[in-house]
């Protein structure tokens, strides 16, 4: 068989497997790359070249930047601002602000990152405002799709069409050049959602709802009975406690005041033998006694807390974690007590419970099923709670992302994001360099570790893009793209370039409802470029039109990962998507076919 025939068969097999959805998309994508080599369509180097393409590396770096914003509480802060400003009465105001926020985040950190970050926030907002989640979550995702056209970083498809423009000998699409179509797409999307969304969307809540950790600290404080009086006092330079060992602190004469523990300035358990200025003393007992001690011993209460006990233990620097002793744990039989520092020296035991009952200050011999409340820095909680000897009830990393707005490292993350956007907008360096600079800066500044960066990357997307890229190469080298383009041009006849855009939009939109819009773009882009050459027109409006069509993945839940992401929490069925998605797809068609050529001339 000829190379063109092999290429056509490989494309057909890939589309069938993507639609069948029984084989992991990574396996299908890698199978495409290997099949192109095995059939002799491409050389080994060409069939695997996509995995090292700069666009793939840039996409991977964007996942790291997205995770950095999420884990430092930047997206949590944005969500809280949304709840505060949305109000309870105005549906229009709520949907407008939600759509604008998710679109802005999408433009900076991609669709998947923005929706994943705001999904729990919107669910919590729906519960608080007594609105069905189904009325808010699909608008959230569809607004994110529209927002993906606000900037180069909104979706991998934008990166692909920008690179394709360069490969065709034309200028690269600028960072904010996508904004020209992104703004009308977003405005129309929000308007359609407001006008008809309530009528066409179901009114139900999903059985699977993301956990809400916004009040996690208050929950733990109440469960472990810490709200009766826990105080964190800073040691002043003039305090007689300065220079004393922790076990030398005399609390006699101050009622029932008890020492819980001693922390350094970073809220970690004290490792030094004696206290110094800036260290903190954790005390439990009567408020009047604590005030008297503070006056006599020159101690200062925390000045940056607003929420009482929970803010003392749960803040930007430190947090709480609940762990359970599982059966057969080596910790069974060990003696612990309130205020005890763990073996690592980084965590402090704040409370111990057995069957829901507080074991108090006395020493306790651990049994299976006992729960411990641990306090320490967020970094220490992340590092030491991977111990298989205990079961972590709620991941500290997940809790911090939701419950601590603008946490440690937030300023660095925002500054790094701004630097990346500046580099991308000015074009001083190639996009991949800007992305690598941002990802590397997040690691060097301590916002993320190397391991966390690895885990933050959606390797399915990265491998999918890298493994499918050689398909575009094969279509160009074998002439398959030109053959399909000539067929499309012949089909539209003398109707002109607008008919070509309409045909490409329909092809992209239909395929994009069944398989990944990224994979769809990789198939359609070479067809569009070849068709533009056949008609003797510029490929830039064709490429931008394809980008718009690829973003219109509205009609099915399998069209994008984010559509599936909200299916459970929103209580959606397969047939719910097209009712709102079809009017939006029509609007995307209008922008793609009629507005795009007005900006990027043929």
CA distance 557 to 578: 9
pLDDT at position 543: 95
Which residues lie below 8 Å from residue 530, measured CB to CB, with a gap of 6+? 476, 481, 482, 484, 485, 486
CA distance 413 to 260: 34
- The mean-pLDDT minimum among 135-149, 269-283, 463-477 falls in 463-477
pLDDT at position 596: 93
pLDDT at position 306: 47
Residue with the larger pLDDT of the pair 49 and 114: 49
The number of beta carbons lying within 10 Å of the beta carbon of residue 189 is 26
What are 174-179's contacts with CB under 8 Å, separation 24+?
Answer: 174/425, 174/427, 175/151, 175/421, 175/424, 175/425, 175/427, 176/151, 176/152, 176/425, 177/152, 178/149, 178/150, 178/151, 178/152, 178/154, 178/544, 178/547, 179/149, 179/150, 179/151
pLDDT at position 65: 86
Tell which residue, 550, 533, 540, has the closest CA to residue 479: 533
Q: What is the mean pLDDT of residues 425-446?
A: 88
What percentage of the chain reaches a pLDDT higher than 70? Answer: 94
CA distance 516 to 227: 50
How would residue 338 be classed by pLDDT, with cut points 50, 70 and 90? confident
pLDDT at position 59: 77
How would residue 588 be classed by pLDDT, with cut points 50, 70 and 90? very high
pLDDT over threshold 70, residue 24 = yes
Q: Which CATH class is domain 216-393?
A: alpha beta
Instruction: Give how far the C-alpha of residue 163 lies from the chain's centroid of Cα atoms, to the nearest Å.
Output: 25
Mean pLDDT, all residues of the chain: 84
Which residues lie below 8 Å from residue 249, measured CB to CB, with a gap of 6+? 241, 259, 275, 281
pLDDT at position 510: 84
Residue with the larger pLDDT of the pair 451 and 211: 451
Tell which residue, 501, 199, 171, 223, has the closest CA to residue 373: 223
Q: What is the mean pLDDT of residues 322-328?
A: 92
Kindly list the strands in the beta sheet with 347-354, ordered across the sheet, starting from the edge strand earlier in the chain. Answer: 357-358, 347-354, 371-377, 318-324, 391-392
pLDDT at position 110: 76
How would residue 212 be classed by pLDDT, with cut points 50, 70 and 90? low
At 142-151, the pLDDT tens digits run 999 999 999 9
pLDDT over threshold 70, residue 377 = yes
**Which residue ranges make up each domain of the chain?**
63-212+408-452, 216-393
pLDDT at position 359: 80
pLDDT at position 304: 46
pLDDT at position 409: 85
347-361, 413-427, 535-549: which has the highest mean pLDDT?
Answer: 535-549
191-200, 296-305, 423-432, 531-540: which has the highest mean pLDDT?
Answer: 191-200
What percentage of the chain reaches a pLDDT higher than 90? Answer: 25
How would residue 493 be classed by pLDDT, with cut points 50, 70 and 90? low
């Amino acid at each position: 068989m000829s190379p063109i025939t092999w290429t056509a068969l490989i494309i057909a097999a890939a589309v069938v497997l993507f639609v069948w959805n029984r084989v992991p998309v990574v396996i299908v994508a890698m199978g495409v790359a290997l099949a192109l080599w095995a059939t002799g369509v491409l050389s080994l180097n060409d069939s695997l070249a996509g995995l090292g393409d700069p666009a793939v590396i840039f996409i991977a770096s964007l996942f790291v930047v997205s995770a950095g914003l999420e884990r430092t509480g930047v997206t949590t802060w944005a969500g809280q601002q949304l709840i505060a400003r949305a109000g309870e009465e105005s549906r229009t105001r709520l949907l407008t602000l939600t759509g604008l926020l998710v679109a802005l985040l999408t433009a900076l950190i991609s669709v998947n990152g923005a929706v994943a970050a705001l999904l729990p926030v919107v669910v919590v907002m729906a519960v608080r405002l007594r609105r069905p989640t189904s009325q808010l979550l699909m608008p959230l995702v569809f607004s994110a799709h529209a927002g993906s056209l606000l900037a180069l970083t909104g979706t991998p498809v934008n990166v692909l069409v920008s690179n394709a423009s360069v490969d065709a000998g034309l200028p690269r699409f600028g960072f904010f050049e996508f904004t020209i179509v992104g703004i009308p797409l977003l405005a129309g999307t929000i308007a359609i959602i407001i006008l008809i969304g309530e009528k066409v969307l179901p009114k139900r809540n999903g059985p699977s709802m993301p956990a809400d950790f916004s009040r996690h600290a208050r929950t733990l404080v109440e469960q472990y009975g810490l709200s009766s009086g826990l105080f964190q006092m800073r040691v002043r330079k003039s305090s007689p406690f300065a220079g004393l060992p922790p076990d030398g602190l005399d609390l006699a004469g101050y009622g029932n005041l008890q020492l819980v523990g001693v922390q350094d300035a970073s809220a970690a358990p004290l490792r030094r033998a004696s206290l110094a200025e800036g260290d903190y003393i954790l005390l439990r007992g009567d408020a009047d006694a604590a005030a008297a001690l503070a006056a006599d011993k020159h101690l200062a209460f925390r000045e940056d807390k607003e929420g009482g006990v929970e803010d003392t233990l749960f803040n930007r620097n430190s947090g709480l974690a609940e762990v359970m002793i599982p059966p057969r744990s080596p910790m069974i039989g060990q003696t612990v007590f309130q205020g005890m520092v763990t073996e690592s020296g980084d965590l402090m035991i704040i409370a111990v419970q057995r069957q829901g009952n507080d074991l108090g200050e006395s020493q306790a011999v651990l049994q299976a099923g006992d729960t411990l409340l641990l306090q320490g820095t967020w970094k220490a909680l992340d590092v030491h709670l991977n111990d298989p000897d205990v079961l972590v009830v709620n991941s500290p990393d997940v809790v911090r992302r939701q419950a601590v707005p603008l946490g440690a490292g937030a300023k660095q993350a925002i500054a790094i994001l701004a630097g990346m956007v500046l580099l991308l907008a000015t074009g001083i360096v190639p996009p991949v360099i800007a992305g690598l600079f941002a990802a590397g800066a997040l690691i060097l500044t301590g916002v993320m570790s190397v391991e966390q960066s690895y885990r933050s990357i959606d390797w399915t997307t990265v491998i999918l893009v890298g493994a499918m890229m050689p398909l575009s190469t094969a279509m160009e080298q074998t002439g398959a793209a030109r053959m399909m383009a000539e067929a499309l041009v012949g089909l539209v006849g003398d109707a002109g370039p607008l008919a070509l855009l309409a045909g490409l939009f329909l092809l992209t939109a239909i395929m994009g409802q069944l398989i990944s819009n990224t994979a769809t773009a990789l198939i359609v882009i070479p067809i569009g470029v070849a068709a533009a050459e056949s008609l003797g027109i510029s490929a830039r409006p064709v490429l931008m039109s394809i980008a718009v069509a690829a973003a219109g993945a509205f009609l099915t839940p399998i069209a994008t990962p984010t559509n599936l992401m909200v299916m459970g929490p929103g209580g959606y069925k397969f047939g719910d998507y097209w009712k709102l998605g079809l009017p939006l797809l029509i609007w995307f068609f209008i922008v793609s076919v009629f507005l795009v050529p007005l900006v990027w001339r043929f």
